Structure 1
């Protein structure tokens, strides 16, 4: 049926959800189209309907009429732009999902859409429209809706996918935030007065004003909680009803151009926003659970310059060594540490301090975190012209004096840094590795020749970031016998007095205020190059650096215990535990090559990931939020010959699972964002049957029983026992 053009469009909508069966519609459509189309329709899902239409015989208008005829939802042949009510739904959401709210008064909110079988979309619409109104729907062709929303005739950008915007109204938030052309300005948003929009900007504004590095929305029992990570600690901003939390998450997803209807799959995205005239970059990632979609937003201020090196926690000698490395005409300097340890901040601080007008600096970053004076900074975007490969190639073609590559991602970027530094230029980059010496073997593991590394590498900088004890309330006391035992393997002269956290009003009763780095700076001279070239193990490289006077991570951590900056427990868990592993057993970081490969480099793909059958054993995903334990598991399993993939929580684990096959998941239970039990629940919902072994310090038998009921393959308790762990993995793999 077709709407009456003379009547009020808003009053002609179909109330509620259509009762028509999608499978019956597909059968009906197949009978109408014939045998050839019936075969292409087999197994199609409701969400694939419009994609199927692109290559099908019926026109968009004809297909919309058929949908209307079968479902009973009235068909709209023409739709004027003036009918578009912009205050009901976020404009990016409308463009992504091809829906148009219609202007009107009364008790109904009519929405024109293109697919009446998209049940998740209908549920989102029911939750999002004003509560006092009932949802009513109309049907139109993709072309009709796209013209109103000022998309292309097909509703997609040429060469793109559904929901990518071609043009936008001046006052609407941009869909593709990665372009950097325009930032979302809340004051100019037509939906700014919507309660959800107001609450979202209020909470985000508070987090930014308080200097937060992350803004989070998480579920907690029957409510959702907004948090801000300030100086490394999460502070609760406000609790809201669970449904309100879902609307807040949907709001931020829509602004960043994410698929609002996709709630069971992790998503990542970005957007630029102006808060009090300050440009802020937001990096969003979602972590779905059974009942909620947790959201984490990383907050970046690209206009802010990096802090001076002296404020980061380097010793005077370490700062001078960094300056010496950065002022060299050629060589490769690699900064290593776990994610979030401040590697990019250190590099930007260094380049800022050594900047010269007669020295060209080009960067390739994802994202740009700090402004570097006199540098040409390029940001990776979801655009073929601004992809990582394209920007890297153009940066090298410019032949700058200094190239800063934000992160070594694989063999391509590692080889580019090596070649660039070997041709008379200086290259700086970062990678995830535990310390300076292990970085050498990580690069070799990617496929770089050891001799080439020995010749090009001029320095390696390792770092950690720890929480500083609050200077106003920290308690100084004599060292305990247990702490002497902990520090005994690392120093013959432990301090007599140490500090511990207490809590006061200035530190919000946490005992900590601010963060500070712990560094090791290793300059690679002739002797160190020879040790690398000759294949000496990690332990010997570190012993040589320490003997010549370099401060390693453990040495610097002990200094800060003596200075009462950090507690013994924090330094041991975050630094010394790894040091003990490196000293006690040398990890074998070599690969077992397939004898049929003429060149070992052929065993890697374009981004440096090992291609089968390079690794001799199975792949294990380790999900653990505590860095020291994660490192220990990595070392034990790697030495046993397994491929190891690391994740800091359940949300990150889901992303890792999407990128490749995993044979066993070894997961902690208690983790931020998404815990181990929720991770297993999501895997079960999606029929992912990868064996899960829980590893936790939780003594409660209730957790073990619950895990086994959900299908956990085994359950191990901390502290880690190497033989027990390996026997368990072998048993599960059998």
Structure 2
């Protein structure tokens, strides 16, 4: 229909079909033809998608045009998602030159055959060669030509770097320890280690592009697994040979000023790194010994997003007003509760940001310091130097603080010094691991804090969770046919927001704090005073079309 057999797509025939279906105007078609004269090597659909549209024309991006063409030629359409592809397997099936020459990309292999993405549905000469060399049936899908090029280039370049690194570091640990010995640290970025440097830069850059909050590099018996945490869920990204995993781990430990030769003990590190793209990135590193080597987890912080604000966290309305009233207190304890990964630290930093001023002395004790802030005096717990949360708070109290943030109240000693700091005229912010706001009271009792001290110091507790929000591009609705949302990749979700349950202490609640106080009585009293639970907050978000009931149940169960 749009080309002779074994030929490339014909631009004129494509334009005629689009004009006949009123998908573009004659003026736009003429502009495309003029553009084609200057860019004859560009895919026809890319030329069409690149032209501005008249107001009366339907909006059509490259993905929608590719889907339209796939329907016309009777081929399945697939939106390529690199997180859903096995990049190292794809690059191992065909050569980079063959893939580039024909504009194809293998995307899946199973017992039924090999699935190959192409943006030229009438070109078939490569099928015979590929079927003969691989000995399997070929299944074709239509895909976005830009994505085919980008993913193909990334896959083959990555495979080349991995192969080079695997060859250079096959000697194993002895080579790395020699490479990172004190006398040779200056040589670490030399040409012989260029493959590892490139792999680390790619790993960090790709994590930023995919909006990852954490990078997990996990050693296994045969291979190392690279996974990214995106919107709270982990996604497999790549599988490295064991020697390459070891080399990448050592490179990152070196950058984070960790002891590269020490692999028997957990370590923490921090680094600020400038990527080849010119973007700065800040990371917190944590290593953990496993039977197959060190597992490394990197927490990513974008320096451009260092300044947190409540709106970005999803804290708004009456809950925000009441939270700001709590922050205006001159003394007392304010707690943020929730499981790991619920956004407690972000809320605390946003609160410190709100309190920061030249007239206020803000001090923190953290394990480790989550992110460096120029307006805050930050102290890190160091067990080897006998610097714990408790001893750190005692030291901070001699620094004339106005506000103290304690990373976590995890034992009786820390709870007691936090109480003493609040009693002596300081505002104390901290976190607890409890499921809801009212449970913070019983948790303090379990830690041995006397009831009268809780009554005297606790001014408010906020429990929180993070839920994935529905994609603003498709609002969570499946696209017609085989269409794929380019923003959320048909996962329905893109980004996260907070659910908040705020309990402000009142005289009536303080009267409920007796030895062995009943948690249900506390909850009933808090509800009578207007507390809205996490589940109720989630229901409000569902009603507003921000998320789904399933997502609320997932995080609030």
Q: Shorter-chain-normalised TM-score: which range?
A: 0.5 to 0.7
What's the CA shift for 1:364?
1.6
What's the CA shift for 1:206?
2.5
Question: Structure 1 residues 262 and 387 mapped into 2: Cα distance closer, same or farther (>3 Å)?
Answer: same
Give the match for residue 284 of structure 1. 286
Is 1:552 paired with 2:533? Answer: yes
What's the CA shift for 1:277?
6.8
- Higher helix proportion: 2
Question: Contact 1:304–1:370 (CA<8 Å) still a contact in 2?
Answer: no
Q: Deviations over 1:603-658 (max 9, x none)?
A: xxxxxxxxxxxxxxxxxxxxxxxxxxxxxxxxxxxxxxxxxxxxxxxxxxxxxxxx
Question: Contact 2:463–2:502 (CA<8 Å) still a contact in 1?
Answer: yes
In 2: Cα distance, 1:453 partner to 1:192 partner: 61
Question: Contact 2:476–2:493 (CA<8 Å) still a contact in 1?
Answer: no
State how 1:580-595 maps to structure 2 within 5 Å.
Answer: none
Is 1:412 paired with 2:413? Answer: yes
Question: Structure 1 residues 305 and 293 mapped into 2: Cα distance closer, same or farther (>3 Å)?
Answer: closer
Give the match for residue 272 of structure 1. 271
Which of 488, 494, 517 lines up with 1:513 in the alignment? 494
What's the CA shift for 1:390?
4.8
What's the CA shift for 1:413?
1.5
Question: Structure 1 residues 234 and 527 mapped into 2: Cα distance closer, same or farther (>3 Å)?
Answer: same
Unaligned runs of 5+ in 1: 1-108, 110-120, 131-144, 151-167, 174-188, 478-501, 578-734
Q: Deviations over 1:426-452 (max 9, x none)?
A: 111112111111111111111111221
What's the CA shift for 1:359?
2.7
In 1: Cα distance, 2:256 partner to 2:352 partner: 31
Q: Deviations over 1:345-370 (max 9, x none)?
A: 10111221233332322222233334
In 1: Cα distance, 2:241 partner to 2:395 partner: 49
What's the CA shift for 1:476?
6.1
**Residue 471 of structure 1 aligns to a residue in which SS?**
coil
Question: Structure 1 residues 422 and 128 mapped into 2: Cα distance closer, same or farther (>3 Å)?
Answer: closer
What's the CA shift for 1:254?
4.5
What's the CA shift for 1:205?
3.1
Give the match for residue 376 of structure 1. 377
In 2: Cα distance, 1:305 partner to 1:127 partner: 34
Give the match for residue 532 of structure 1. 513
**Residue 403 of structure 1 aligns to a residue in which SS?**
strand
In 2: Cα distance, 1:540 partner to 1:191 partner: 68
Q: Deviations over 1:388-438 (max 9, x none)?
A: 455322211123221111111312211111111112221111121111111
In 1: Cα distance, 2:387 partner to 2:266 partner: 21
Question: Contact 1:302–1:368 (CA<8 Å) still a contact in 2?
Answer: no
Give the match for residue 456 of structure 1. 457
In 1: Cα distance, 2:544 partner to 2:289 partner: 40
Give the match for residue 207 of structure 2. 207
- The two structures, once aligned, show a CA RMSD in angstroms of 3.4
In 2: Cα distance, 1:389 partner to 1:447 partner: 15
What's the CA shift for 1:376?
2.3
Give the match for residue 570 of structure 1. 551
**Residue 503 of structure 2 aligns to a residue in which SS?**
strand
Unaligned runs of 5+ in 2: 1-167
**Residue 368 of structure 2 aligns to a residue in which SS?**
coil
**Residue 550 of structure 1 aligns to a residue in which SS?**
coil
What's the CA shift for 1:302?
6.3
Higher alpha-carbon deviation: 566-575 or 383-392:
383-392
Is 1:124 paired with 2:105? Answer: no
Question: Structure 1 residues 192 and 326 mapped into 2: Cα distance closer, same or farther (>3 Å)?
Answer: farther
State how 1:36-115 maps to structure 2 within 5 Å.
Answer: none
Q: Deviations over 1:586-611 (max 9, x none)?
A: xxxxxxxxxxxxxxxxxxxxxxxxxx
In 2: Cα distance, 1:399 partner to 1:302 partner: 29
In 1: Cα distance, 2:192 partner to 2:342 partner: 36
In 2: Cα distance, 1:557 partner to 1:529 partner: 28
Question: Contact 2:172–2:243 (CA<8 Å) still a contact in 1?
Answer: no
Give the match for residue 348 of structure 1. 349
Question: Structure 1 residues 570 and 244 mapped into 2: Cα distance closer, same or farther (>3 Å)?
Answer: same
Question: Structure 1 residues 312 and 408 mapped into 2: Cα distance closer, same or farther (>3 Å)?
Answer: same
Q: Deviations over 1:560-584 (max 9, x none)?
A: 1212222212211321x3xxxxxxx
Question: Structure 1 residues 456 and 346 mapped into 2: Cα distance closer, same or farther (>3 Å)?
Answer: same
Question: Structure 1 residues 278 and 383 mapped into 2: Cα distance closer, same or farther (>3 Å)?
Answer: farther
Give the match for residue 323 of structure 2. 322
Scaled by the length of structure 1, the TM-score of the pair is 0.47
Question: Structure 1 residues 327 and 407 mapped into 2: Cα distance closer, same or farther (>3 Å)?
Answer: same
* Larger relative contact order, structure 1 or 2 (CA cutoff 8 Å, min sep 6): 2
Question: Structure 1 residues 424 and 292 mapped into 2: Cα distance closer, same or farther (>3 Å)?
Answer: closer
Question: Contact 1:331–1:425 (CA<8 Å) still a contact in 2?
Answer: yes
Question: Contact 2:508–2:525 (CA<8 Å) still a contact in 1?
Answer: no
Is 1:243 paired with 2:243? Answer: yes
**Residue 198 of structure 2 aligns to a residue in which SS?**
helix
In 1: Cα distance, 2:417 partner to 2:209 partner: 40
Question: Contact 2:437–2:461 (CA<8 Å) still a contact in 1?
Answer: yes
**Residue 442 of structure 2 aligns to a residue in which SS?**
helix
What's the CA shift for 1:244?
2.1
Give the match for residue 49 of structure 1. none
Question: Structure 1 residues 324 and 172 mapped into 2: Cα distance closer, same or farther (>3 Å)?
Answer: farther
Question: Structure 1 residues 122 and 239 mapped into 2: Cα distance closer, same or farther (>3 Å)?
Answer: closer
Give the match for residue 697 of structure 1. none
**Residue 378 of structure 1 aligns to a residue in which SS?**
strand
Question: Structure 1 residues 236 and 528 mapped into 2: Cα distance closer, same or farther (>3 Å)?
Answer: same
Question: Contact 1:337–1:463 (CA<8 Å) still a contact in 2?
Answer: yes
Give the match for residue 53 of structure 1. none
What's the CA shift for 1:506?
0.8
**Residue 438 of structure 2 aligns to a residue in which SS?**
helix
What's the CA shift for 1:201?
2.7
What's the CA shift for 1:204?
2.1
Question: Structure 1 residues 412 and 347 mapped into 2: Cα distance closer, same or farther (>3 Å)?
Answer: same
Question: Contact 1:304–1:371 (CA<8 Å) still a contact in 2?
Answer: no
Number of residue-to-residue matches in the alignment = 382
In 2: Cα distance, 1:412 partner to 1:503 partner: 54
What's the CA shift for 1:307?
2.3
Scaled by the length of structure 2, the TM-score of the pair is 0.61
